[in-house]
Structure 1
Amino acid sequence: MTAPGTAVPAHVSTPAYRDWNVLLWLTAYTFSLIGDSVYFIALGWSAQKTAEPAEVGLVMTAGALPRALLMLAGGVVADRFDPRRVILGSDALRCLLTLAVAAGIALTAPALWVLVAVALVFGAVDALFVPAIGALPPRITDPDQLARVTGMRSLSLRLSQIAGPPIGGLAMGLGGAAAAFTVAGLLFALSLPLLLTMRIRPLRNAPDPEQPEPTTARDTNASEPTAARVAARPKPTTAREDLLDGLRYIRRHRLIGPLVAAGAIYELGLTGTLNVGLLLLNAERGWGPSGYGWIVSGFGAGAAASAALFAIVGWLPRAGLMLAGTLFVGCVGSAGIALVPALWVAVVLAVLSGLNAGVFGSLGSTLMQTAADPVYLGRVTSVFMLTMVGLAPLSYPVVGAAIGTWGPGPVFVGCGAFACLGVAVALSSAAVRQAELPRRRPGAKASS
């Protein structure tokens, strides 16, 4: 499934966009995403009414700390327990939390410490939710549909980013922060019955038995079949052992390790320029807030287009080489935004960058999900997501200080060149170069 000659499924499931089980999951996930967006709007406006500007920033960033610190632990929880149960518990906790805050705000103005506490708890729950979401798709569909599911998930994310702010703003206008928190809680509640009615499949074996399994001191007979070695391997008895086992698995896996490393380098190189850097670039060029909005919207439109492509097509040839190629084009396009004089050219480059970044992200996610042993999927997802929520923001102050010293042009180019190291990491791996998405055999029958 990840190299030429690897076995592929003998059947193909119903296309994911027509699979009722997948659609139940996608609808529940969309409700959760919109609820997230409404919650952040309500939290920000509540803080703005009771705190100074610096304190508002403290409230809005408070959730990022537990999310980053607990993300790896969330991966262990997702692998130890049924991911659906983890998602159900996470949405139930977020529902109760936001409805409790809504009731409190309706009675009295919240103190600053209350809002900080809410943000911290919400961030901790998110650290459980995100890895479980990544571990769930292989349990609700067949491997040959994972690319479509990844595209549908990305498209849901983009659409929720469009729908969430207007819904939150409307609730704020009609009933204030209490109404917005209530709407967020109800959206989380709507996901619960959908998740309960989903069908969960038993764990399947890793699709590529040639991929190395994590070894221990007792795994001395390398000639034994993979399944026998896995069965004989002593099971970790503590969460810490589970975490270390997962990290070893990622590091030793010929495909997942390079994909995680390439994604981390990409995020470290470009996240700062696409967030902090664009703000400073627009200020220098005189494009103003509207110019910034056009560029960000262009990037989002490109990413949404790639998500729609995956949701419909479900398969692309030479996945590993295409992943490296789209990563390179995305890096070059993002760096070029700071070098063009006209706003419309910058917007075109943003669309191109978003399109390629979306293809790269979808391919990477799908390849990891199809190559990984399902018992490690939560930990694989948690490590991959940690690079975005934990490591990438570390580049923000560095990018800001560098632009203040050298200007946006050299910094954008330098960050783009650094991100291109991810291309080198990907191409240096034979497993990545040869990676292919799963595809049904000609004449295969659809599964029921």
Structure 2
Amino acid sequence: MAVETKQGPARRRRLNSRLAVLGERDFGWFFVGYATSLVGSSMAPVAVAFAVLDGGGGGTELGWVMAARILPIVLVMLAGGVVADRLGSRRVMLVSDVLRCAVQGGFAVALATGHAPVWAMAALVAAWGLGEGVFMPALGALVPALVRRKDRLPDANALLGLARSVSTVAGPALAGVITAGYGPGAVLLIDAVTYGVGALALARIRVDRPAGTGGDGDGSVLADLREGWTEFRSRRWLWTTTVQMALFNLLVWAPFLVLGPLTAQRELGGARAWGLVLGVYGVGAVLGGVLMLGRRPGRPLAVATVATFGWALPSAALAAGAPLGWTVAAALVAGAGSAVCGALFESTMQSWVPAGVLARVTAFGGLGAFVLGPLGLAAAGPVADRVGVSAVLLFGAGWQLLAGVAVLSVREVRCRRWEVPAEPGPGVGAGAAR
């Protein structure tokens, strides 16, 4: 009994330590707003997919609409990184949330009034993607500025990943039910409201712009981009994992997003089944996020890469014609791997890349990861029409396994640790280690 009595307070102290970053005012406000907007964001893709399908579209039309969202992200991400390093991440993210609130509200009205042909849906999701394209690099640079104690940075990223994971549980499941009962327009209206909450939270926080070469506005945009590119390409571990993500989005995730709803509609039961698959993917991510709280594996990128092997399983389950239960189990494992990979990779990048160029380096990484996504989304339907849905999904699953092995063979990935050497790196001052 004495041992049990001592263990209880010890567990509470460990939990309080892992959640202590929430007590930091600016991070706490941001976490609440971001977590709220994430719920709406995770609901919206289900609504968009079934808005297209219910409107008479098929796999090809769905692919084009999804590509219309990703393409603007690719086009504006580098500019978003430059602007965030110059003006500050908070301002850029605030404008992005306001824009996306307006877009999703307009989308909901268009669906409610029956004025939403495929071209109009594509235009609206393109505007949505424009907001995301400037938000993403700014987010990568904002988080370290919100966390005053840098030893809490891994926990901050784990908590943000956990929020993303919880939203992928609640969002798709809610979206499936609401779409089935009230139509996709209701889901998009909820998404608009959550973006408004995110904007209000960003308006309350105050952060200093990190000192660095990109924040003073005295150089040209091209000079800022060249500096960011130099920092990005000098880190082999960074561009190697970026290439892996680019091909993952092209060959694995894009076909899964396009052909998954199509398969669910034909074989698994429609919107509710697809919402369940994505929701359980989120459950796995929640479990992975909880696992990462308070943990710092000695070789974070190696562990992150091993976690990506699980991403092959959902595509493999769909390709094999597995029943819904097996597909859901595959999504659970893949979701856990996603949370582990995301938390470790983000913390590693924020530790090894100097603050003054972090938004631009994040932008180059995000651009590389997304640049092939529109092609994958647009091509998945037509290619599946020629060779079959199962063939496309099975190829993606096999590719993911081979890619993980290839990335682990890179020493800079396999041996990367947390510690950053004190020596300055090329051109940006102390802390800019490779």
Task: Report the counterpart of residue 154 of structure 1 in structure 2.
Answer: 161
Matched residues in 1 for 2:42 and 2:286: separation?
A: 18
Q: 1:193 to 1:293 in 2, by over 3 A?
A: closer
1:273-305 deviation line (CA, Å, top 9, x unaligned) = 422344566678x44436555443333321222
Matched residues in 2 for 1:410 and 1:266: separation?
A: 16
Task: Report the counterpart of residue 331 of structure 1 in structure 2.
Answer: 312
Tell me which amino acid in the other structure corresponds to 2:242. Answer: V
Once the two structures are overlaid, the 10-residue window that deviates more, 256-265 or 387-396, is 387-396
Matched residues in 2 for 1:63 and 1:280: separation?
A: 19
Bigger relative contact order, structure 1 or 2 (CA pairs below 8 A, ≥6 apart): 1
Q: Are the equivalent residues in 2 in contact too, given 1:66–1:124 (CA < 8 A)? A: yes
Q: Are the equivalent residues in 1 in contact too, given 2:67–2:377 (CA < 8 A)? A: no
3-state SS of the aligned residue for 1:423? helix
Q: 1:396 to 1:110 in 2, by over 3 A?
A: closer
Question: Within 5 A, what are the aligned runs for 1:229-268?
Answer: 237-268=219-250
Q: Are the equivalent residues in 2 in contact too, given 1:281–1:338 (CA < 8 A)? A: no
Q: 1:372 to 1:46 in 2, by over 3 A?
A: same
Identical aligned pairs, as a percentage? 26
Shift in Å at residue 197 of structure 1?
Answer: 3.0
Matched residues in 2 for 1:168 and 1:279: separation?
A: 12
Q: Are the equivalent residues in 2 in contact too, given 1:75–1:131 (CA < 8 A)? A: yes
Shift in Å at residue 122 of structure 1?
Answer: 3.3
1:41-65 deviation line (CA, Å, top 9, x unaligned) = 888899999x875898677764443
Question: Within 5 A, what are the aligned runs for 1:278-293?
Answer: 278-279=260-261, 286-289=267-270, 292-293=274-275
Matched residues in 2 for 1:408 and 1:267: separation?
A: 17
Q: 1:182 to 1:415 in 2, by over 3 A?
A: closer
Task: Report the counterpart of residue 8 of structure 1 in structure 2.
Answer: none
Matched residues in 2 for 1:408 and 1:46: separation?
A: 22
TM-score, scaled relative to structure 2: 0.73
Question: Within 5 A, what are the aligned runs for 1:38-437?
Answer: 53=57, 62-95=68-101, 118-141=124-147, 142-164=149-171, 166=174, 184-201=191-208, 203=210, 237-279=219-261, 286-289=267-270, 292-310=274-292, 312-331=293-312, 334-335=315-316, 338-339=319-320, 341=322, 343-387=324-368, 389-396=370-377, 398-401=379-382, 403-404=384-385, 406-407=387-388, 410-437=391-418
Tell me which amino acid in the other structure corresponds to 2:236. Answer: R
Shift in Å at residue 39 of structure 1?
Answer: 6.8
Tell me which amino acid in the other structure corresponds to 1:124. Answer: L
1:103-126 deviation line (CA, Å, top 9, x unaligned) = 9999x8768687765544333222
Q: Are the equivalent residues in 2 in contact too, given 1:263–1:422 (CA < 8 A)? A: no
Once the two structures are overlaid, the 10-residue window that deviates more, 36-45 or 69-78, is 36-45
Shift in Å at residue 72 of structure 1?
Answer: 2.0
CA RMSD of aligned residues (A): 4.4
Once the two structures are overlaid, the 10-residue window that deviates more, 133-142 or 255-264, is 255-264
Q: How many positions carry a matched residue from both structures?
A: 397
Matched residues in 2 for 1:64 and 1:72: separation?
A: 14
Q: Are the equivalent residues in 2 in contact too, given 1:259–1:364 (CA < 8 A)? A: no
Matched residues in 1 for 2:50 and 2:317: separation?
A: 36
Q: Are the equivalent residues in 1 in contact too, given 2:301–2:414 (CA < 8 A)? A: yes
1:394-433 deviation line (CA, Å, top 9, x unaligned) = 2245544555555555544432332234324432332222
Shift in Å at residue 173 of structure 1?
Answer: 8.2
Shift in Å at residue 22 of structure 1?
Answer: 1.8
Shift in Å at residue 435 of structure 1?
Answer: 1.8
Tell me which amino acid in the other structure corresponds to 1:270. Answer: V
Matched residues in 2 for 1:423 and 1:40: separation?
A: 27
Q: 1:184 to 1:279 in 2, by over 3 A?
A: closer
Larger Rg, first or second structure (1 or 2): 1
Shift in Å at residue 138 of structure 1?
Answer: 0.9
Unpaired runs of 5+ residues, structure 1, are 1-11, 206-229, 440-448
Query: Which of 20, 25, 34 lines up with 1:29 in the alignment?
Result: 34
TM-score, scaled relative to structure 1: 0.71
Matched residues in 2 for 1:48 and 1:332: separation?
A: 25
Once the two structures are overlaid, the 10-residue window that deviates more, 132-141 or 255-264, is 255-264
Matched residues in 2 for 1:137 and 1:288: separation?
A: 40
Shift in Å at residue 317 of structure 1?
Answer: 3.5
Shift in Å at residue 364 of structure 1?
Answer: 1.9
1:115-155 deviation line (CA, Å, top 9, x unaligned) = 76554433322221222112111111144323222222222
Tell me which amino acid in the other structure corresponds to 1:298. Answer: V
Q: Which has the higher helix share?
A: 2
